[in-house]
Amino acid sequence: MRRSFLIFTALLALIALLGALITDQFALQILTLTLIWATAGLAWNVPATAGQISLGHAAFTGIGAYGFVFCVVQFGWSAWVGMAVSMAAAAVLALVIGLPTFRLQGFYFTLATMAFPLILMVLVIAGGHPEVTVPFNPGEPIASMQFRDPRSYVWLALGAFAVVGALCLAVAESKIGRTLIAIRDNEILARSVGVRTLVWKLGAFCFSAAVSAAVGVIWVNAILLVVAAEEVFGFAVSILLISVTFVGGIGRFWGPIVGAGLLIPLSQFLTVQVGDRVPGAESIVYGLALVAVALVMPRGVFPTIADRLTRRGADGPPDEHRTDNAEWRALAREAKATSSDDVLLEVIGVEKRYGGLTVLRDATFTVGAGARLGLIGPNGAGKTTLFNLMTGHATPNGGSIRFRGEDITKLPAPARTQLGLSRTFQVPQGFRSMTARQNVEIAALGSGLGPAEADRHTRAILCAVGLGGRADRLPSALTAFELKLLELARAAVSRPAVLLLDEPLAGLNEAERGDFFAALDLVVDEEIAVVVIEHSVKALLSYSSELLALDGGQIIASGSPREVVRDPRVIKAYLGNKFAARYSLVSEPQKADQP
Amino acid sequence: MTVVQFIVTGLLVGGVYALISSGLGLIFGVMRIVNFAQGDFMMLAMFASYLFWVGPRINPLLSVPIVFGVFVLLGIIVYRYLVGPVAGHRENHDAQVILTLGVGLVLQNVMLLAFGSTPRLMSIPALEFGFNVGGVYIDGPRLIGFIAAAVTATVLFWFLRHTILGRAIRAASENWEAATYMGINLRKTYAVSFGIGIGLTAIGGAALSMYQPVGPFVGLNFTVIMFAAVVLGGLGSVSGAFVGGVIIGIVQSVSQVWSPSTLANVYVFAIFLIVLLVRPQGLFGRKQRAI
């Protein structure tokens, strides 16, 4: 934790020393440019940490540059006011780009960002401003950001780098950084553990845009002086930010710093040495660097080297899952102040259609405090759809869902998790670049616990389910059964009022099924309601106090397990008409008498 | 000039846009690869066409089979040694996006180094004709480009529907896993699809070179035009990319009725954004469910 801040401070001191010692004009300019693009790279990296690759940051440097000149020339404002206004304008534009595209998954955000700087560039040129000039005013150096001594620009760029770097480092080392990584790893899962992903992505993008605009302002004053639309809005700027960050390592704090330190001096040197004979030499270097890094170390230079140096042993104690729920019980006792409503969740006449296909109709039932409700039915009966509707991963076409009397039909998934509805997934999900502990901790934080509390809850529940010795492993290093336990720990760590388990037993053998229910009993206290989807009716008979049978999108039976499994409609749904009269679902099927 | 004139011109150019977009659409549809270097490969093909004319005086209509063959091969090589190793069905797409950006950057600047930044336009006396149809002027090179695009499109659809390789490509694009169970060699199919995708765009580039100046940096705008067409038609749908390309050609042209031609691309990008926001699955795409 503290070590990164020490290294960063040492780096700043080193750069300051360089800035003070260097006398060569050209070397000072290289230092300034390296700092400028490292700062912009740090900013570009923030949304990229959440998996949002922008190809349009030139829109923000361009707005920074043009907005600054406009404010200074038209209104005669001081340079700093101009910078603040440009930063605000860039943040607003980021909101305009992000708000619609962040709702979509996949490449849409990246594609949309590509178009914006092109539009702005054409409009600025068509508006009659292909070039604007920064008014030269070295009389008031502080107010105008214009200095006679090129060394002053090093200090200016270093100041921006220090501020943005400290902010980004604080982000990277905190809950914020891990939340961003969680969004990149698995956005659906992040939403289901209470992370408002849209807000986070927008926040990251707006911050990034504002910093890029500030960088545009500094760039204009320190280097350009004449602002050409093709230069500040050009694709080359966007590519530059991607290059420094990707070569260094996307999603890592040191990535853009390492990348800028490698690429900018090299490209500047080439431009000066061979630029007149080899036009575009620096771009060829960027291009080759991108290709080479993508092929050889696709995670970037810094992570590849750093992780090789600090590889930690992944081995815990031998393969046993010792459960210890003392700490978890203690936490549960502390929290025992919850109101004991009778009815927690009400599903009233809910309907869901996909196109012309109705997958769920008129589903009505309630879940009371402490319920142990089993949801059974053949494939395609609508069980998972029902879960998705309850947790906000899909919206019903009709009917309503109430939680503690409050209508939550239209509430997004993260808000429902924070209310106390938590779920697991049929196919175990995980934040793949985080350890088991961090996986659970994100859920604890997402439910609204403070950092210290979240840490305590996380340790306690991991011990309770028997993953105490596996806490520092990545999901990819866990067995199928351990993943199920992790899934359970993640869903239960927030002490939800209603816990929804989607086929938790699928793929487990008989012994593991027993172990899973044992772990479930250890982490769930009596007043928590548990709803389990399961194919295997037998497994649910002993666990649940109530069964709900679905078939073809309709609830066909409900009541005590014994009643439901003897219901002819349920037997028909499972075994077909022919056997409906003769068999019960639970007794071992005898050999049918052949007629 | 009348609106009809602009529509006709837009349609003729749009046909070629449709062709270049189908290449990008094929590559995305089959491999889920977003190729940001597509426009730069097109720029390269325009240069190839141009050089065939200024060098041995072979006009684009005659050189296009050679250009197509060379670019299919180039595409296969690029896929085999560059794109293929970082693509695949992994969760992290960053490396693939950035690799193609890098390839594009290298192509642009190598061409800058070789030919300078001044755009060049070839002039072929044999193709400088045109005629009037009921008051609407039909430009020769644009008409020829359109016909070339239409012929290529017909062959492409026949190929995808009726040849074993074409069916393998479609199978791989719908469900790569199931395709491997049917004995389809995915590596080979992907390499060929990438090659054909580059080849289709190259034919379009050759057609455009008859009336569009070529310079090292023309690729980017065309890349955005291609993405606009592909998104408009629906990501992953080759026929959608065709319709999208035609619509964009018409929009570009008709916008000149009321605004200067320098702003034509602003309308294209604006449509691109509106489609992304309003109907991201495109005109023909299917909506995908998250869970």
* pLDDT above 90: percentage of residues in chain A: 15
Q: How far is B72 from chain A (nearest CA, A)?
A: 21
Same domain, yes or no, for A339 and A224? Answer: no
Which residue, chain included where needed, has tokens 């990819």? A476
DSSP B5-32: HHHHHHHHHHHHHHHHHHHHHHHHHHH-
Distance CA A357, CA A494 (A): 36
Q: Are strands A131-133 and A546-551 parallel, antiparallel or unpaired?
A: unpaired
Report which listed range, A278-282, A294-298, B1-5, is most confident: A294-298
Structure tokens at A47: 């949304």
Q: Are B58 and B126 contacting, i.e. CB atoms less than 8 angstroms apart? A: no
- Residue A190 CB contacts under 8 Å (≥ 6 apart), including other chains: A179, A182, A183, A197, A431, A442, A446
In a domain, A156, yes or no: yes
Strand residue runs (E) in A31-187: 131-133
Higher pLDDT pick, A251 / A208 = A208
Burial class (CB in 10 A: 0-12, 13-18, 19+), B167: middle
Asked if A115 and B272 come within 8 Å (Cβ–Cβ), the reply is: yes
Q: What is the pLDDT of residues A373-396, one digit of tens each?
A: 888 888 878 888 888 888 888 888
Asked if A284 and B280 come within 8 Å (Cβ–Cβ), the reply is: no
Q: How far is B92 from chain A (nearest CA, A)?
A: 9
Asked if B94 and A246 come within 8 Å (Cβ–Cβ), the reply is: yes
Domain that holds residue A34: 2-234
Asked if B105 and A354 come within 8 Å (Cβ–Cβ), the reply is: no
Size of interface A-B (CB pairs under 8 A): 132
Strand-by-strand arrangement of the A529-533 sheet = A421-423, A498-502, A529-533, A372-376, A546-551, A554-559
Asked if A298 and B95 come within 8 Å (Cβ–Cβ), the reply is: yes
pLDDT over 90 at A19, yes or no: no
> Which pLDDT band holds residue B148 (cuts at 50, 70, 90)?
confident
Instruction: Using a CB–CB cutoff of 8 Å, tell me whether B261 touches chain A.
Output: no
Q: What is the pLDDT of residues B234-251, one digit of tens each?
A: 777 788 888 889 999 999
Mean pLDDT of A506-527: 84
- Residue B206 CB contacts under 8 Å (≥ 6 apart), including other chains: B45, B46, B48, B49, B60, B63, B64, B67, B68, B148
DSSP A384-433: HHHHHHHHTSS--SEEEEEETTEE-TT--HHHHHHHTEEE--SS----TT
Mean pLDDT of B192-211: 91
In a domain, A514, yes or no: yes
> What CATH number is associated with residue A341?
3.40.50.300
Instruction: Using a CB–CB cutoff of 8 Å, tell me whether B98 touches chain A.
Output: yes
Question: Where among A212, A234, A256 does a domain terminate?
Answer: A234
At residue B234, the pLDDT reads 79
Same domain, yes or no, for A356 and A476? Answer: yes
Q: Are B169 and B160 contacting, i.e. CB atoms less than 8 angstroms apart? A: yes
Distance CA A546, CA A544 (A): 5
Distance CA A377, CA A595 (A): 29
- Residue A223 CB contacts under 8 Å (≥ 6 apart), including other chains: A29, A32, A33, A36, A153
Same domain, yes or no, for A202 and A60? Answer: yes
CA A8 to each of CA A215, A357, A388, A446, B169: distance values in angstroms, whole numbers, following the listed order: 20, 58, 45, 29, 51
Mean pLDDT of A106-110: 78
Mean pLDDT of A317-322: 57
At residue A367, φ and ψ (nearest 5 deg) are -120, 120
At residue A302, the pLDDT reads 87
ipTM: 0.86
CA A69 remoteness from chain centre: 37
For residue A503, what is the DSSP state? S
Amino acid letter for position B195: G
At residue B286, the pLDDT reads 57
Higher pLDDT pick, A135 / A513 = A513
Distance CA A139, CA B13 (A): 56
Helical residues (DSSP H) of A435-502, grouped into ranges: 436-446, 451-465, 480-492
Fold of B3-114+141-278: ABC transporter involved in vitamin B12 uptake, BtuC (1.10.3470)
Distance CA B101, CA A243 (A): 10
Domain residue extents for chain B: 3-114+141-278
In a domain, A571, yes or no: yes
Instruction: Using a CB–CB cutoff of 8 Å, tell me whether B91 touches chain A.
Output: yes
Counting the structural domains of chain A, the total is 2
Secondary structure class of A202 (helix, strand, coil):
helix
> Which pLDDT band holds residue A209 (cuts at 50, 70, 90)?
very high
Asked if B290 and A188 come within 8 Å (Cβ–Cβ), the reply is: yes
At residue A374, φ and ψ (nearest 5 deg) are -105, 140
Which residue, chain included where needed, has tokens 């704090």? A253
Distance CA A379, CA A551 (A): 9
Mean pLDDT of A357-365: 86
Q: How far is A10 from chain B (nearest CA, A)?
A: 31
Asked if A388 and B276 come within 8 Å (Cβ–Cβ), the reply is: no
Question: Which of A96-105, A330-339, B28-37 shows the lowest mean pLDDT across its residues?
Answer: A330-339
Asked if B262 and A294 come within 8 Å (Cβ–Cβ), the reply is: no
Q: What is the pLDDT of residues A401-454, one digit of tens each?
A: 888 888 888 888 888 888 888 888 888 888 888 888 888 888 888 888 888 888
Higher pLDDT pick, A324 / A344 = A344
> What CATH number is associated with residue A189?
1.10.3470.10
Same domain, yes or no, for A432 and A566? Answer: yes
Distance CA B176, CA B170 (A): 9
Q: How far is B103 from chain A (nearest CA, A)?
A: 6
Q: How far is B81 from chain A (nearest CA, A)?
A: 9
Structure tokens at B164: 């074993």
Distance CA A269, CA B140 (A): 49
Mean pLDDT of A195-213: 92
Instruction: Using a CB–CB cutoff of 8 Å, tell me whether B112 touches chain A.
Output: yes
DSSP A335-379: TTT----SEEEEEEEEEEEETTEEEEEEEEEEEETT-EEEEE--T
**Following CA atoms A544, A547, A548, A552 in sequence, which dihedral angle do they give, to the nearest 10 degrees?**
100
> Which pLDDT band holds residue A580 (cuts at 50, 70, 90)?
low
In a domain, A408, yes or no: yes
Strand residue runs (E) in B69-167: 130-133, 136-139
Residue of A247, A284, A385 to mutate, testing the B interface (most B Cβ within 10 Å of its Cβ):
A284
Q: Are B54 and B46 contacting, i.e. CB atoms less than 8 angstroms apart? A: no
Asked if B98 and A246 come within 8 Å (Cβ–Cβ), the reply is: yes
> Which pLDDT band holds residue B43 (cuts at 50, 70, 90)?
very high
In a domain, A319, yes or no: no
Distance CA B72, CA B198 (A): 6
pTM of the predicted structure, to 2 decimals: 0.84
> Which pLDDT band holds residue A586 (cuts at 50, 70, 90)?
low
Same domain, yes or no, for A221 and A336? Answer: no
Residue of A45, A95, A119 to mutate, testing the B interface (most B Cβ within 10 Å of its Cβ):
A119
Question: Which of A335-344, A449-458, B180-189 shows the lowest mean pLDDT across its residues?
Answer: A335-344
Number of H helices, E strands in chain B: 12, 2
In a domain, A371, yes or no: yes
